[in-house]
Amino acid sequence: MSQMENPFYSCPVELALQAIMGKWKPAILWQLASGAKRFNELQTALPGIAHKVLSQQLTRLQRDGMVMRNHTGYDFPPGYTLTLLGSTLRPALDALAEWGKLHGERASTTAQEASRSA
């Protein structure tokens, strides 16, 4: 059973967060929200992600129905796009990006201060 099909969530926010939870899933979805990308394009756009991790995350996003691997022909390597379900996350990703622009520096400073005092 896919994580997306699990009926044991206490609220819809928990289900939505489960769909995008992880260090790399939101960044991958954000990259694909602007259009189809090949594997190497995603890896270049996401500095620090290992080849294996990107492959695993794309597989999970495909399994959960968020991302589709499409074959563009013999001359080009396959690319990845958001599915219709995945594209419904665009407003949430946009809202998270806006929050990050507005509050990211403050949140980062607060987190650094908290880790120093721990």
What residue spans define the domains of the chain?
A: 3-117
Which token pair is 18? Answer: 């489960």
- The fold of the 3-117 domain, in CATH, is Arc Repressor Mutant, subunit A (1.10.10)
The alpha carbons of the chain give a radius of gyration, in whole angstroms, of 16
**In this predicted model, what pLDDT tens digit does every residue of 17-64 receive, in sequence order?**
888 888 899 999 999 999 999 999 999 999 999 999 999 999 999 999
The pTM is what? Answer: 0.77
pLDDT-above-70 percentage for the chain = 80
End-to-end CA distance of the chain: 39
